Amino acid sequence: MKRIITILIACVAACNPAPEVDMLTRIDQEVRSNSKVYETLAKSMSTIGHRLTGSPNGKMAEEETFNLFKSYGYDNVKYHPFEVETWTRGEVSLQVSDTDGQMTDMSVISLAHSPVEANVEAEIVDVGNGLEADFEAAKEQVKGKIAMCYISVLPESGDAKNLHRSEKTKLATDYGAIGLIIFNQVPGGVLLTGTASVTGKLIPIPAVCISYEDGFALKERLKSETVTAKIEMTNVSDNIRARNVIATIEGTDYPEERIIVGGHLDSWDLATGAIDNGIGSFSVIDIARTFKALDIKPKRTIEFIMWMGEEQGLLGSRDYVRTNKEAGTLDNIKYVMNLDAGTNPRGLSGGGRAEAEEFFRAVGEKIQAIDTTFANDFVNRAGLHSDQQPFMLEGIPYFSAMGGGDRSIYDCYHADCDDIDLVNKEHLENNVRISSMALYEVAIADQLPAAKLDDQATKTFLERHGLKLKLKIAGDWRWGD
């Protein structure tokens, strides 16, 4: 009788197999149960600290990432070396005249790629937001003076579109200023660093950051009196090799087609790089771990890339695009996913490609069916100043998860208050889960949501998204008009 019952049970099981769990659900469960993203980020923060490109710390971070990929089962990890002009801060001081004409020290930090040596003294000229219209309005006053502007857009400026600090520095240089003071938008005496160069090379004038409080106090003084400033600084610059780190999963159906999944590993020296971009780059590493743990076989080849040199001007991703262009393999790159300082996604971003909206909204619906807390919001804007830019300028589409975490963590952006304590473990794991599911859907799609644009279509795309002026300021507008 027992034998008969056993046979019957086996027959029932064979005739009614357990329902197969779809891959998105498996990804969700794998990350919830086994993610290592927070612990690997925390360990890197404690053992390495900042990850400045070209520094000993940066080299250690490259090697740590290489070994992490290896430990997750990638046997084809490789380095992509490139030359970089490193910049290391030295000493800096800023003095401003008081009402009696005496010079008083002010708390200050150098912006990266400022000159190796500078000693300038001149009247301060307030150029508001530091936009092109602001410099144009003050073009006679700013020549030979030290310009001062807000890093963001002043509340009374209406719908004015902001520029990156490097673009404001380029305008200051073009309009004849001999120095630039940028004041922060975050109260509390926070000083931030970051590049003031649109090219990743040294700039000709010293550029510094002062606090929100000092900036607005100076701005108020300049309404009724002349204020002089003196900037002195020394820095160090040299050429050195840095390395992107690449791990690959070979595609099954279209192995020659590549999807790039990247996040910049490097960070500035004032901070540990927890927020910019530990939460992005270590998410990419854990997405790679997840795909290996589940033995996912994508139709297209996926390259997981840790970019170096992003903070100095997208140097690693620019070099990767350049080398692929020279090798004639750029057309094999079909899509880019970029994770930069976002966490706890509330939706997806289609990178400005209208034709991709239906696809990504449908992907969001699939994710929402598994995780009802996912809002499935959608944005479709194209942006600059992160590693998707070199690909976008070649017409290659990109997408990303759209962060919805606590905005207060960005108060310490590029500043010495940036630390692992700002990182929410659950939000970070959400970043891995949602991004992994979105990547999977792109990697197995029979038809990709958008295709590479030709040169003229790329020009039109960039103009439509209002990026022409910024690209012209940076020298990245190649169309001549």
pLDDT at 268: 96
pLDDT band at 4; cut points 50, 70, 90: very low
Q: For residues 41 and 279, is the Cβ–Cβ distance under 8 A? A: yes
pLDDT band at 12; cut points 50, 70, 90: very low
Percentage of the chain exceeding pLDDT 90: 91
Q: How far apart are CA 223 and CA 217, in angstroms?
A: 10
pLDDT at 117: 98
Q: How far apart are CA 244 and CA 422, in angstroms?
A: 26
Percentage of the chain exceeding pLDDT 70: 96
pLDDT in tens, 179-214: 999 999 999 999 999 999 999 999 999 999 999 999
Q: For residues 184 and 209, is the Cβ–Cβ distance under 8 A? A: yes
pLDDT at 394: 98
Spell out the SS3 assignment of 42-62.
HHHHHHCCCCCCCCHHHHHHH
pLDDT in tens, 439-452: 999 999 999 999 99
Tokens of 457: 């279509």
Beta-bridged to residue 235, according to DSSP, are 89
Element (H, E) at 377: strand 377-379
pLDDT at 6: 44
pLDDT at 13: 40
Q: For residues 81 and 309, is the Cβ–Cβ distance under 8 A? A: no
Spell out the SS3 assignment of 105-146.
EECCEECECCCCEEEEEEEEEECCCCCHHHHHHCHHHHCCCE
Give the C-alpha distances (Å, rounded to integers) separating 472 from 160, 331, 457.
Answer: 18, 25, 18
pTM comes to: 0.93
pLDDT at 18 over 50: no
pLDDT at 21: 65
Q: How far apart are CA 75 and CA 17, in angstroms?
A: 35
Q: DSSP string spanning 251-296?
A: -SSEEEEEEEEEEE----TTS--IIIIIHHHHHHHHHHHHHHHTT-
pLDDT at 481: 82
- How many Cβ atoms sit within 10 Å of the Cβ of residue 183? 22
Q: How far apart are CA 218 and CA 212, in angstroms?
A: 10
pLDDT in tens, 243-264: 999 999 999 999 999 999 999 9
Domains of the chain (ranges, CATH numbers)? 23-85+239-450 (3.40.630.10), 100-224 (3.50.30.30)
pLDDT at 457: 98
pLDDT at 2: 43
